Amino acid sequence: MAKKSKAAQTPPAAGPVRPVTIAFDVMGSDHGPEEIIRGAAQLTLDTPHIHALFVGDRGLIDHALSSIRHNAERVVVHHAAQFVAMHEKPAAALDDKRDASVLVAAQLVAAGEAEALVSAGNTGAGVLACARTFKLIPGVKRAALATVYPTQSTRGEKDDPFSLILDVGATVDATADDLVAFAVMGAAYSRIISRNPNPSVALLSNGTEAQKGPPRVVEANARLQHVKGLRFIGNVEGVDIPKGTADVIVCDGFVGNVCLKMLEGVHETVMALAKYAYKEKLLWRAGLAMLSGGFERIKEVTDWEQYGGAPILGFDRIFIKAHGRSKARAITNAGKVAAKAVANDLARSIQEGLKAS
């Protein structure tokens, strides 16, 4: 953590960096608009090139900005009178609320007022706002929600102990076509964001053999073996997810969502198993007690929101979905990831990868 903050304060590499405007949907997150604004405001101070376009209730935003340090030259506010709450059904909410902040923000991005969208609100509403506003990249039929998660192995320029898994919930019934596109999208994202020049990509299945799995997975495996420029390492199994056998793991949104939520629960499970396993031994209990405060740290390590949020991949515009519980620091990270994706033209990189598939 400390390292990351320091890195943010380091001057950028030599040469001018072109300005990037990120639209922040400030409404509908668990901790309220102020955390979003604080995180984005920090970006306008830390970086010389990121501009923030705040979308939401102007009164709330102006009030927050009056007490939060920011670079006023790189902040613009756009009023949106409505927002989608966490509990709302995405489709119905967006139908009803044409002035919902996430929809207005997506429209501003589509219109070129900003180049990427960051939201910590209702995930489904965010994905749907993009689907209704952005265009799919040619060759992509359905979008994917990707997320990084902690692994045993490390990778890339920074020895990241994180892999990328997609889809984790945007497309619950992915076809073989979708899985192939997800593989290409995930590899492009890993190259750009994790600075991993040649990421290994695997399909999640119930066996490592190419013919294992339901028909969509078997077909995707056969096709991925022939995608140029993609380091496809075949099928991996559930045990390979935490191991980090692959840099990018590809699956449909149903399986991916179940796995991600299992990973999120690993902290509680481990504590419970540890208590069950150790209850009889005093030495073990002492060891557990010594670790008890530190177990929170595992939770932090497994908390994917700390690592820049989850990108929605497949659209011509960038959307980074930060966790609903995001505090300011998570929003700052999400904004940085969005800016990096824009600066490296992620969408074009995906499009080129798909041409080879």
Judged by the rule CB under 8 A, the positions of this chain that interact with a second copy are 150-152, 161, 169, 172-173, 204-207, 213-215, 217, 237-243, 251, 253-255, 257-266, 268-270, 272-274, 276-278, 281, 283-284, 286-291, 294, 297-298, 300-302
Alpha-carbon gap, residue 1 to 316, rounded angstroms: 31
Angle between helices 253-264 and 266-278 (to 10 degrees): 50
Q: Shortest distance, CB of residue 284 to a second copy, whole angstroms?
A: 4
Q: Shortest distance, CB of residue 260 to a second copy, whole angstroms?
A: 7
Nearer to a second copy, 68 or 274 (CB): 274
Nearer to a second copy, 106 or 255 (CB): 255
What lies within 8 Å, CB to CB, of 250 at 6+ separation is 165, 166, 179, 182, 183, 186, 201, 202, 203, 204, 220
Nearer to a second copy, 52 or 145 (CB): 145
Alpha-carbon gap, residue 298 to 309, rounded angstroms: 18
Q: Shortest distance, CB of residue 66 to a second copy, whole angstroms?
A: 39
Q: How many helices (H) and strands (E) does the chain have?
A: 14, 11
Nearer to a second copy, 198 or 211 (CB): 211
**Amino acid (1-letter code) at residue 285:** R
Q: Shortest distance, CB of residue 277 to a second copy, whole angstroms?
A: 4
DSSP of 227-270, one letter per residue? -TT-EEEEEE-TTHHHHT-SSEEE--HHHHHHHHHHHHTHHHHH
Neighbours of 281 (CB within 10 A): 11
Nearer to a second copy, 133 or 205 (CB): 205
Q: Shortest distance, CB of residue 42 to a second copy, whole angstroms?
A: 25
Q: Shortest distance, CB of residue 154 to a second copy, whole angstroms?
A: 9
**15 closest CA partner among 49, 51, 52, 45:** 49
Nearer to a second copy, 56 or 242 (CB): 242
